[in-house]
Structure 1
């Protein structure tokens, strides 16, 4: 790594941060800080129907309360529409995307993978989604933590949606544009986002941009085997005593803790964690079950 390392944490404001979110935030923070790099925060607020009022502000407050202070200004995807429109326009001018009128029901009836039905029909934009004309699919990539990861070939080669029929920009489009815009050198995130990585790399290459490195962290599972997520109603991180929760997150990532960490300040614990961060000790399993109880109800 060089001193030009740039990493990020990019939550969606669909709910408050929980322990699983903390793992992604902390892992990316420690990787960036240990490489003397910048750690940025981006709020991915491009899907209003899924957003929870006030969640963005609470996410930022929680990060600060847990000592995870970011560099620069927070980027909000809701303010980036012009950039997304410009890339969509450029792709269309280069005949690298097209309008699709197929419904989800139609695609499910044909096996769940889009069959490129509209690819050469030159359909109008009204009531249409926009799909990438994927000419050179990416079937595998080298994860800096997990090694070579291979994707399902049908998924990897699908002409995926980059602009939705309801007028919203698709995640894969926005995340690539913003990661490139912010100069990301490495994306550290949860293993639940391994699958779309091949699509994002394909889009990077199609746009002529150099893709960042990827490092996927294990997911935190509740004792009943479900991923800790907003959809599964994982409890928000408590704000009354962050030190033991942060210590458990450090341990979850395979890192050791200093002696008498209970007596340390939050800042001192994070400083120690940055200094002793060893990414090779992060578990390589895609998910880990939490066996320790949270007395304050964080899980």
Structure 2
């Protein structure tokens, strides 16, 4: 299976519509736009709204308006993940046919306890359900059925680790476990697609071969690259950029005050926000996104987190 269209070389920005974009989000969007434009790629926008409990269309529209107000132009139509369930089903069927898919009946508590056992690895799924017999699977499935729940689905990994490449970090290798590709949950509430599956399938579909995002996701890249290789997708170039932190050294969040575009624009104006964004990527005194694009020098871009001072 290959869900990809004709290759088009593109970069992207893919926010979740759970609130207005704050300064840290906007800085990552700016960098994704710069890297795409500087390398002759299209720049695409995708709204990652598969988390129905947290996603709101109102915020999706506000995010689009904010990016356009900053001058971060994008190509083609905006893609909404909530409209892509059929593609995720197709990907699961591909994994099922190739023997790379199995049901997992573990609760979060089960996984925490297994990871804390003497030979467990923190944060790694220990493979509890990987080699169950058909009879054991039927029993566990029936047990969940009585609770009104359905099992999760996991990737049956065939490697211990995987290596991908990042623009700044170079080769990045990480251990690979059997990641969830569809979450379990209450029966009848629809599919709860896992981020790892959706992002890999949609990047391939959109012809995206450059992913710029926060460096807190750096060690997730090998697992996503491995899943893409299992599905037969071409490799992606990753560009993980430093986060914006607050004065306490924590990741910037909306609770840190007036940090959204609309809040900042009330005090310094839209032009002031653009200037602040330019300064955060090493371009002083810029008055437009186009000017930041023209003057941005990768060699002057700091690999240290940017501290937001308000």
In the superposition, the TM-score normalised over structure 2's length comes to: 0.83
Unaligned runs of 5+ in 1: 294-299
- For residues 236 and 148 of structure 1, the distance between their equivalents in structure 2, rounded to whole angstroms, comes to 34
Residue in 1 that maps onto 2:271: 243
Residue number among 266, 289, 292 corresponding to 2:307 in the alignment? 289
Residue in 1 that maps onto 2:153: 130
Residue number among 174, 178, 201 corresponding to 2:225 in the alignment? 201
Where in structure 2 are the equivalents of 1:1-299 lying within 5 Å? Answer: 5-52=9-56, 54-111=58-115, 112=122, 113-121=124-132, 122=134, 123=137, 127-151=150-174, 156-166=175-185, 167-230=191-254, 235-238=259-262, 239-240=265-266, 241-254=269-282, 256-257=283-284, 261=286, 264=287, 269-285=288-304, 287-291=305-309, 293=310
User: Which whole-Å deviations, capped at 9, do the CAs of 1:119-156 have from their partners, x for residues lacking one?
Assistant: 122435662000000112444432112223343xxxx3
Report if aligned partners of 2:94, 2:231 keep a CA contact under 8 Å in 1: no
Unaligned runs of 5+ in 2: 1-6, 116-121, 186-190
User: Which whole-Å deviations, capped at 9, do the CAs of 1:184-232 have from their partners, x for residues lacking one?
Assistant: 1210111121121111011011112112100011100011111013587
Distance 1:103 1:234, change over 3 A: farther
User: Which whole-Å deviations, capped at 9, do the CAs of 1:156-201 have from their partners, x for residues lacking one?
Assistant: 3211100000330100000000000000121011112112111101
Question: Alignment length, in residue pairs?
Answer: 276
Q: Match of 1:109, SS?
A: helix
Distance 1:270 1:233, change over 3 A: closer
Quick check: which one's helix share is greater?
2
Report if aligned partners of 1:138, 1:201 keep a CA contact under 8 Å in 2: no
Report if aligned partners of 2:47, 2:78 keep a CA contact under 8 Å in 1: yes
